[in-house]
């Protein structure tokens, strides 16, 4: 049977996608949920997983633009991994004589060391071994995930053979340190064949049912990782994928409370039996700090200790911006394909004020002050692994559409853990929006080596006095934390007042006054 795969729905306003790259070739055997291609829209890049196991038949080439629902490829589910149609007897798993066939070892050993993953990165942590010790791995097959204080990277095999793990999951290694060895073989084996070569020597004859398969209730690799991080048992999650497979979306939607409800009763009773007997939950869980979280902690403490940080506040009447958005929100989205949010107004206002008060856009480098004639605005984003701060380059030269497009692109990549090192380094000024979580007021910490950060907060209707009358207006508190070593009170307060002026009269942003 041939299964036609169509371009999936990837967003509310996205009507077409472009094939960025085929990760598998026409005629390759693919496993279910194995990523076969990357698709990109005007907002983000998406992975296309195989909907079944079989032979891939490509129908559209790289660079082609397809509408949502168009056929992108087909999978011949009746074909074996060698491309030949499977007979009725071969629809079962291969006999033991095939499954136990091992490629012949050449006697050579390939030592894999921690690769260089960034200019300023000196060590990495092994986040997860995708393959186990003794598994057969194919050349360029991902065998592990390593993470630094800035991003997560995949580690591909540098040869085909038997994997011998040297460093364990959770270990922190310096760049160039030995991470694993591969006992090279002289038989090139595909990823699907490699999996079969490591199965037990006992013949497997269980026939796969059309309703219940090995995929039923089994998480994909991405889903398994998410469930592990949440501490949720996969048996408690209902899969919505093919044959009941637990997809990445299922894992993301799974609630933490599932794990708490299903925790062993003995764990609670071991701490306080009396409390447990009356229904109190006394469970405790420990989780190792990630490299990202440890580095963030070090830097935040360093900023508090090494800078003369001070925060000044003001409030902004958001009614003019809200009225403007209400009037032009739909026409803006129809024309540009992106929504008109508050972030573009704040970014444009900050860029104007930064060019007028250059010290706020500067930073200390040893005994010198570095002044920037451009505005690289860092946007704080809450990602699954922690807070990340991707950068909008030359924001002063972008219009509202350009800023909104960059915000969506960077935020999407951050939440998918796909930000590159280059996209998170640099930046001359940071904007953080605690208002999306309901924060009324805060004192944000400077994003070193920058010298200032603007904090946005929630919008609350409050009584204010205008022209001698008390009126109700949607008000927002804004906070500017700054390094008092190079920014004086006059500059910090004047900067924030200028931002307030531009936001309360947004037409100034259009005519440049």
Residues forming the active site: 484, 488
Contact 461, 292 (CB under 8 A): no
Q: Cβ-count burial of 369 within 10 angstroms (0-12 exposed, 13-18 middle, 19+ buried)?
A: middle
Q: Which residues pair with 2 in a beta bridge?
A: 76
Q: Given its phi and psi angles, is residue 228 left (phi above 0), alpha (psi -120 to 50 degrees) or beta?
A: alpha
The DSSP code sequence of 105-171 is: EEEEEEEEEPPP--TT--EEEEEEESS-TT-EE-TT-EEEEEE-SS-EEEEE-SSSEEEEE-SPTT-
Q: Which residues pair with 75 in a beta bridge?
A: 3, 56
For the four alpha carbons of 348, 350, 353 and 358, in that order, the dihedral sign comes to negative
Q: Which residues pair with 314 in a beta bridge?
A: 478
Q: Which residues pair with 40 in a beta bridge?
A: 18, 45
DSSP state of 346: H
Report how far residue 184's alpha carbon sits from residue 107's, in angstroms, rounded to the nearest whole number.
Answer: 7
Helix or strand or coil: residue 304? helix
Beta strands in 230-322 (DSSP E): 309-317
SS3 content of the chain, % helix, strand, coil (to 5): 30, 30, 40
- The residue among 400, 33, 350 whose CA lies nearest residue 221 is 33
Report how far residue 35's alpha carbon sits from residue 69's, in angstroms, rounded to the nearest whole number.
Answer: 18
Query: Counting runs of H as helices and runs of E as strands, what totals does the chain give?
Result: 14, 27
Report how far residue 94's alpha carbon sits from residue 215's, in angstroms, rounded to the nearest whole number.
Answer: 18
In sequence order, which residues have a C-beta less than 8 Å from that of residue 141 and are 6 or more positions away?
131, 156, 157, 191, 194
Half-sphere exposure of 424 (CA within 13 A, CB side): 23
Contact 233, 262 (CB under 8 A): yes
Which letter, b or e, does each residue of 53-89 get, where b requires 16 or more Cβ atoms within 10 Å of its Cβ? Answer: bbbbbbebeeeeebeeeeebbbbbebbbbeeeebeee
φ/ψ of residue 448, rounded to 5 = -60, 145
Contact 350, 499 (CB under 8 A): yes
Q: Which residues pair with 245 in a beta bridge?
A: none
């Amino acid at each position: 049977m041939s299964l036609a795969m169509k371009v999936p729905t990837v967003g509310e306003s996205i009507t077409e996608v472009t094939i960025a790259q085929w990760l598998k070739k026409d005629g390759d055997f693919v496993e279910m949920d194995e990523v076969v291609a990357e698709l990109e829209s005007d907002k983000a890049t998406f992975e296309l997983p195989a909907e079944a196991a079989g032979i891939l038949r490509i129908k559209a080439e790289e660079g082609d633009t397809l509408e949502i629902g168009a056929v992108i490829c087909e999978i011949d589910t009746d074909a074996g991994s060698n491309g030949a149609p499977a007979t009725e007897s071969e629809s079962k798993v291969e006999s033991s004589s095939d499954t136990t066939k091992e490629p012949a070892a050449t006697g050579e050993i390939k030592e894999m060391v921690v690769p260089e993953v960034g200019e300023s990165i000196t060590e990495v942590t092994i986040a997860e071994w995708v393959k186990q010790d003794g598994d057969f791995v194919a050349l360029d097959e991902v065998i592990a995930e390593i993470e630094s204080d800035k991003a997560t990277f995949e580690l591909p095999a540098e040869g085909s053979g038997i994997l011998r793990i040297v460093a364990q999951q959770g270990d922190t290694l310096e760049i160039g340190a030995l991470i694993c060895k591969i006992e090279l073989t002289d038989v090139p084996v595909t990823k699907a064949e490699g999996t079969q070569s490591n199965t037990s020597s006992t013949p497997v004859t269980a026939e796969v049912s059309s309703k219940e398969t090995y995929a039923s209730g089994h998480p994909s690799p991405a889903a398994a990782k998410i469930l592990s991080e949440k501490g949720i048992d996969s048996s408690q999650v209902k899969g919505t994928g093919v044959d009941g497979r637990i997809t990445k979306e299922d894992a993301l939607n799974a609630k933490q409370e599932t794990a708490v409800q299903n925790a062993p009763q003995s764990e609670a009773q071991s701490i306080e039996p009396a409390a447990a007997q009356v229904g109190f939950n006394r469970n405790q869980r420990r989780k190792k700090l990630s490299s990202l979280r440890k580095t963030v902690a070090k830097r935040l403490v360093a900023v508090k200790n090494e800078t003369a940080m001070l925060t000044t506040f003001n409030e902004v009447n958001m009614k003019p911006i809200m009225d403007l958005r209400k009037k032009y929100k739909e026409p803006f989205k129809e024309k540009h394909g992106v929504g008109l949010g508050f972030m573009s107004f704040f970014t444009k206002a900050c860029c104007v004020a930064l060019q007028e008060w250059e010290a706020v856009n500067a930073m200390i480098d040893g005994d010198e002050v570095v002044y920037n004639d451009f505005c690289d605005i860092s946007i704080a984003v809450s990602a699954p692994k922690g807070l990340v701060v991707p950068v909008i380059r030359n924001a002063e030269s972008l219009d509202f559409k350009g800023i909104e497009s960059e915000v969506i692109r960077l935020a999407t990549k951050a939440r998918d853990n796909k930000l590159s090192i280059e996209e998170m380094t640099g930046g001359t000024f940071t904007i953080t929006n605690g208002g999306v979580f309901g924060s009324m007021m805060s004192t944000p910490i400077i994003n070193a080596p920058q010298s200032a950060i603007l904090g946005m907060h929630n919008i609350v209707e409050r009584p204010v006095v205008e022209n001698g009358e008390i009126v109700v207006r949607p008000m927002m508190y804004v906070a500017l934390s700054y390094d008092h070593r190079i920014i004086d009170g006059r500059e910090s307060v004047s900067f924030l007042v200028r931002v307030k002026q531009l936001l309360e009269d947004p037409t100034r942003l259009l005519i440049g006054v």
